[in-house]
Structure 1
Amino acid sequence: MTRRSIDVEKPFQKSLPFAQGVVVEGQLLFTSGITARDENGEVVGVGDLRRQFEQCFANVADIFEAAGTGYEHLVKVVMYTTDIKQCYEFPDAWRDHFGARPASTLVEVSALAHPDMMLEIEAVARIP
C-alpha cells in the first residue's frame, strides 16, 4: 500500500505528532480530526458553533487543496460536536459544503481536545 502524508503549512501544525491527512493508493484522502483553529492555532468562534463549523470546513478545504481534491469529491464526513441540537439550526451551511451528498455521521460527545472547541470533523475524499 502506498501512502502520502498531507500537511498544510500553519505554524502550530508543525508540532503535531500526526499528519493532517493521508492519501492512500493515490485515490483516497483521509483527514485527521480537523477543528476550528486559525493559522496560529487559536480556537475560532468560541461559543459560536456555526462559526466553528465554517472554520472547520475552511481548514478541511485547505487540506483537500493540498492533496489535489475538493468538496465535489467528498465521500464521507464524520462530525463530533458538544451540542448536537445546535447543528440542526443551520442546514444551509451543511448544504454549502455537502453538495455531493456524502455519507455522513454526526455524534455528540462530552468534550473535545480543547474546552472551547465545539466541533471536530473527519473527512474522506476521492483524489481525481
Structure 2
Amino acid sequence: MTMKIIQTAQAPAPVGPYNQAIAANGFLFTAGQIALDPQTMTIMGEGNVEVQAKQVLTNLGAVLQEAGCGWENVVKTTVFLKDMNDFAAVNAIYGQYFDEATAPARSCVEVARLPKDVLVEIDCVAVLPT
C-alpha cells in the first residue's frame, strides 16, 4: 500500500503526532480540523459555534485542495459537537459547503470535550481524483 502525507500551510499544523491528511488506496483521510487560525494557531470564534464551524470547514477545504480534491470528492464526514444543541447552527454552515443532492454520508456526535475546548471538529474521507 502506498501512502502519501498531505500537508499545507493553509491549514493549522497538527497539535500532536499526526498529519493533516493521508492519501492511500485512492482515498484521502483527513485528521479532524478545529477552529485554529493556520497562521497564528489561535482559536477563532471563542464561544461562537458558527464562526468556529466556518473556520473548521475553511481549514478542511485547504487540506482537500492540497490533495487535489474539492468538496465534491468528499464521501464521508464526521462532525463532533460539544453541545448537540448547536446541531442546527452547524448544519446551516455545513450546508453552504455541500449540495444537498450530492452531500456525503455523515455522522454527528456530541462529545464531552474537544481539543483546545473548541465547540466543533470535523474530519472527512474523500475519493482522490483520477
* Fold shared, TM-score > 0.5 on shorter chain: yes
User: C-alpha offsets along residues 48-103 of structure 1, whole Å, 9 cap, x if unaligned?
Assistant: 00111100000000000100000011100001110111121354322211222110
1:45 corresponding residue in structure 2: 45
Which aligned pairs between 1:26-105 and structure 2 lie closer than 5 A?
A: 27-39=26-38, 40-89=40-89, 91-99=91-99, 100-105=102-107
Aligned equivalents of 1:93, 1:29: Cα separation in 2: 23
1:124 corresponding residue in structure 2: 125
Given the two structures, how large is their TM-score scaled by the length of structure 2? 0.89
Given the two structures, how large is their TM-score scaled by the length of structure 1? 0.90
Give percent identity, aligned residues only. Answer: 28
CA contact (8 A) 1:73 1:125 kept: yes
Residues 5-14 or 70-79, more deviating: 5-14
**Number of aligned positions between the proteins:** 126
Find the partner of 1:108 among 85, 104, 110. Answer: 110
| Unmatched segments (≥5 aa) in structure 2 | none
Query: What secondary structure, in the 3-state scheme, does the structure 2 residue paired with 1:34 have?
Result: coil
CA contact (8 A) 1:49 1:87 kept: no
Aligned equivalents of 1:51, 1:96: Cα separation in 2: 13
Residue identity matched to 1:28: F
| Displacement over 4 Å in runs of 4+ | none
| Unmatched segments (≥5 aa) in structure 1 | none
Aligned equivalents of 1:14, 1:125: Cα separation in 2: 19
- Superposed CA RMSD in Å reads 1.8
Alpha-carbon offset, residue 15 of structure 1: 6.3
